[in-house]
C-alpha cells in the first residue's frame, strides 16, 4: 500500500512537471500575454490534480 502511494506520488510529480513544461511551450508558441500565464497554469494544474486524484482513487478501490 505504501509502495503504491510512493510510486503514484513520483509518477504524479513527473506528470505535473511535463504538463507544466508543455503549457509553457504552448504559451510561448501562441504568444499569449504574460498577464494570462498565471490563469492558464492555475487552470491546467487544477485539472491535472483532479485527474490524478481520481486516478489514484480508482486504482486504490478497484
Q: What is the pLDDT along the chain (62 residues), one digit of tens a residue?
A: 889 899 999 999 999 999 999 999 999 999 999 999 999 999 999 999 999 999 999 998 88
CB-CB contact of 5 with 18 (8 Å): no
Q: In 3D, which of 10, 4, 25, 16 has the Cα closest to residue 51?
A: 16
Give the cell for residue 55. 486516478
**List of residues 6+ apart from 59 with CB closer than 8 A:** 4, 8
- Tell me how far apart the alpha carbons of residues 27 and 29 are, in angstroms, rounded to a whole number: 6
Predicted structure pTM score: 0.86
- Tell me how far apart the alpha carbons of residues 8 and 60 are, in angstroms, rounded to a whole number: 11
Amino acid at each position: 500500500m505504501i509502495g503504491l502511494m510512493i510510486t503514484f506520488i513520483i509518477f504524479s510529480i513527473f506528470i505535473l512537471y511535463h504538463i507544466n513544461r508543455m503549457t509553457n511551450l504552448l504559451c510561448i508558441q501562441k504568444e499569449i500575454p504574460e498577464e494570462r500565464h498565471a490563469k492558464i497554469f492555475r487552470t491546467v494544474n487544477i485539472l491535472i490534480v483532479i485527474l490524478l486524484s481520481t486516478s489514484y482513487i480508482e486504482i486504490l478501490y478497484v
